[in-house]
Amino acid sequence: MATVIFYEKPGCKNNTKQKTLLTAAGHEVVAYNLLEQPWTTERLRSFFGDRPIADCFNRAAPSVKSGEVIPENINAETALMMMLREPLLIRRPLIQVGDRCEVGFDIETIDAWIGLKPTDEANKAITQELLSQDLQGCPRNHSH
């Protein structure tokens, strides 16, 4: 079992479900408010790896949804500076286990990395229910 450092937006329904899934697999989750962290460009970049910077934007951020910010039109250096100024632009969650960092909650990636197998029968039902849901996007975007 791993200790998972989990940077979230408090109150985000999907971040809560993601933490539940990790806990059901026996991991210890240590959650931090992503919006209040003293990010640097180097630290933030460490979560993005070699992904295109456009994939690291929170598509539910108001300035992205309004079209004010178009992630595909922004270079990595500018994007990182924008994210430092406006942390809502950062795709969530940011996850760290040991020296490895990831952005977003891709089920297959996380399962292969630290495992998402439930620890017992009670957690099996919870896990099956959560895995049947979209845990990447913002649920509020689908409620209209």
Q: What is the DSSP letter of 12?
A: -
Annotated catalytic, 56?
A: no
Choice among 12, 56, 101, 138 that is catalytic: 12
Beta bridge partners of 7: 32, 94
Q: Sign of the C-alpha dihedral, residues 31, 110, 20, 93?
A: positive
126 contacts 26 by C-beta, under 8 angstroms: no
Within 8 A by CB and 6+ apart from 49, the residues are: 101, 102, 103
The alpha carbons of the chain give a radius of gyration, in whole angstroms, of: 15
Element (H, E) at 22: helix 13-24
- Provide the angle, in degrees to the nearest 10, between the axes of the packed helices 76-85 and 41-48: 110
Residues labelled as active-site residues? 12
